[in-house]
Amino acid sequence: MTDTNYSENLSHGYSNVTTIYVLNNGELIHSPEAYQQVENLFSWVDKRDIITRLLRLRRETDEHNRSYIFIYENGRLIREHNNVPENVDPALLVVHQV
């Protein structure tokens, strides 16, 4: 899988699972185009780990909910939010770090 395909799959979500990249300034990266602009900031991310998480969350996510994988530039953190109601804005789930 090429890096472009990886970013497209993650940014658009996989079934009811979406990956969102969080920049230090709090900006949320959703689209493949935006991800490609900042991809170098997330070079530490193990793509196989993210795909494993996507597949697991896909199985665990109820039909009318969504799950999110947030990948933070700051602190190199990855956080999951499982079975979030579809009407919840994912920006509300972002953990702001000091």
Instruction: Provide the pLDDT for residue 38.
Output: 95
- 4: confidence class by pLDDT, cuts 50, 70, 90: very low
Q: Is 48 helix (H, G, I), strand (E, B) or coil?
A: helix
By the 8 A CB rule, do 40 and 23 touch? no
pLDDT in tens, 42-94: 999 999 999 999 999 999 999 889 999 999 998 889 999 999 999 999 999 98
By the 8 A CB rule, do 61 and 15 touch? yes
What pTM does this model have? 0.80
Instruction: Provide the pLDDT for residue 95.
Output: 79
By the 8 A CB rule, do 65 and 90 touch? no
Q: Is 96 helix (H, G, I), strand (E, B) or coil?
A: coil
Sheet with 65-72, strands from edge to edge, namely 28-29, 17-22, 65-72, 77-85
Domain ranges in the chain?
A: 3-93
Q: Is 14 a residue whose pLDDT tops 50?
A: no
